Amino acid sequence: MIAVGGSAAAAGELAATASKRIPICHGYSCNYRTMLALGPGDGARFRSILRAGAGSPQAERSAVSKAVRYFEQRIFRVTGIRDLPQSKFGASRIRGQMDCVDESTNTHALLVYLAERKLLRFHKVEDNASRGLFVDGRYPHWTAVISDRGGTEWVVDSWYAPMGGAPDIFPLSQWKKRGVLESGALD
């Protein structure tokens, strides 16, 4: 609702900085959830980050990368544990550690937060995607996904980077081909 004398721009500013609590998954497959309160300062920070990407779809994807990095730094401050890059098989049910299900769920929640505040101009949030089933020689893996106006879907995959590092952002069609198990290593 806009107050008398208010403008649509002012309402947009308010919506972009409105507080929200987001459940953060960790412990592998969302075994634990910790609430992250994003306040007006966070909203202003995300708005500033995304404004820098307002010139083109490519610039917006770069801004999304920066937003994910900031979001993960906020997660660290709440959980108090710095998630290690890529899942270690023995780290299941360890608070603060995240597998690809946790990472993709958290990134998806951030992307929805950004979309709700109309901070994404060139992309929309899609359902998370997966690849691999072991039987096809690939380790199962999940990622968050956005699509551009032309219909190209892009992964936003923060699992490979250390917490607060830049996520992989590239076409989903390329991502679907990756993940082949070779000598125990993933690509």
Specify if 4 maps to a domain: no
The DSSP output letter for 161 is S
In a domain, 185, yes or no: no
Contacts of 171 (CB under 8 A, 6+ apart): 152, 153, 154, 155
Residue 11 has pLDDT above 70, yes or no: no
For the CA atoms of 153, 104, 79, 165, the dihedral, rounded to the nearest 10 degrees, stands at -50
Cα 100 to Cα 88: distance, rounded to the nearest angstrom: 11
8 inside domain: no
pLDDT band at 139 (very low <50, low <70, confident <90, very high): confident
Query: Does residue 5 lie in a domain region?
Result: no
Half-sphere exposure of 100 (CA within 13 A, CB side): 20
Strand-pairing partners, residue 182, are 185
Confidence category of residue 35, pLDDT binned at 50, 70, 90: very high
Cα gap 108→106, rounded to integer Å: 5
pLDDT for 185 equals: 39
113 and 126 in contact (C-beta within 8 Å)?
A: no
Euclidean distance between the first and the last CA atom of the chain, given in angstroms as a whole number: 48
Average pLDDT value over all residues in the chain: 85
Q: Please state the φ and ψ torsions of residue 20, each to the nearest 5 degrees.
A: -155, 145
Evaluate whether residue 130 is within a structural domain. yes
Q: State how far Cα 143 lies from the chain centre.
A: 9
- Name the residue range of residue 79's domain: 16-175
Tell whether 1 is covered by a domain: no
Q: What is the tally of structural domains in the chain?
A: 1
Phi/psi for 71 (5° steps) reads: -60, -45
pTM for this entry:
0.85
20 within some domain:
yes
Any domain includes 112: yes
Tokens 């490519």 correspond to 58
pLDDT of residue 96: 66
